A = this chain, B = another copy of it.
Amino acid sequence: MRRPDARPLYVQVEAILNDRIVSGDWKSGQALPAEPELAAELGVSAGTLRRALARLEQRHLIERRQGRGTYVTQQTSEQALGQFFRVRNLAGRPVEPDTFITGVSTGPASEEEAARLRLRQGEAVHRIDRSRIFEGEPRIAERITLPAALFPGLSLPLAPAQLASEIYVHYRNAHGIIVVKSEENLSATAATEADAAVLNCPVGTPLLLIERVTFDAAGRVVELRVSRLDTRAHRYAVEIA
């Protein structure tokens, strides 16, 4: 460690290991070197390394397996759903959505899309419209907007088996984008005619509007998502602690 850097040493070590994961130097599912070797290689104490690893674990970038070592997290659809999908049925149980993509297009970012994605207005974005079905009923109408520069030649899985996979898993496997964090703004809105057609509800039905921006492990805004959730039979769960 010879970098002149004002950050605490464990934060610098975290950044170095983060880079190895983001760059693909350490691949999804790969075992990390043993802690003593890694600490020696980086020239830091066991305590400093452990503190850095704890932070990477908190960010879901690595995972410890009891008695078997530490691995780069291999994100599954279940993990992605568990972490990022907060919809519950009225009994409080998680729902397993089916997802149907209804449209994909590429075009210049609107002023609002550019502001949220930190792009210049007019830069190219991909737009994906989809609906999500819970227990046989369409309950979410949503648009996902992606910076085209980060998703070159966006290829969406279209076979039903692949559609079952969460899109964040696809971002990682097909585009090397590792999602770590989302910020959401929630509000209530009335169903428009377009919502009513997708969600099979009366125009004016109160919907939960979820505006999400998502960050990857490199700190970039990688996705804007606007979801409209029919809450007549579902809730959005939040834990505050």
Q: Are A240 and B204 in contact (CB under 8 A)?
A: no
From A3-11, A27-35, A104-112, A177-185, give the one contacting chain B. Answer: A177-185
Number of copies: 2
Range of interface residues on A (Cβ < 8 Å): 20 to 34
Q: Are A181 and B59 in contact (CB under 8 A)?
A: no
28 contacts between A and B (CB under 8 A): A59-B241, A84-B240, A86-B238, A86-B240, A180-B241, A181-B240, A182-B239, A182-B241, A183-B240, A184-B237, A185-B235, A185-B236, A186-B208, A186-B231, A186-B235, A186-B236, A186-B237, A186-B238, A187-B235, A187-B236, A188-B207, A188-B209, A188-B231, A189-B206, A190-B206, A204-B204, A206-B207, A208-B208
The answer, yes or no, to whether A76 is at the interface (CB within 8 Å) is no
The answer, yes or no, to whether A88 is at the interface (CB within 8 Å) is yes
The answer, yes or no, to whether A83 is at the interface (CB within 8 Å) is yes
Residue numbers in B under 8 Å from A190 (CB-CB) = 206
Q: Are B208 and A238 in contact (CB under 8 A)?
A: no
Pairs of residues from A and B, 6 with the lowest C-beta to C-beta distance, nearest first: A187-B231, A188-B206, A185-B235, A188-B188, A206-B206, A186-B236
Alpha-carbon distance between A190 and B208 when the two chains are bound, in angstroms: 11
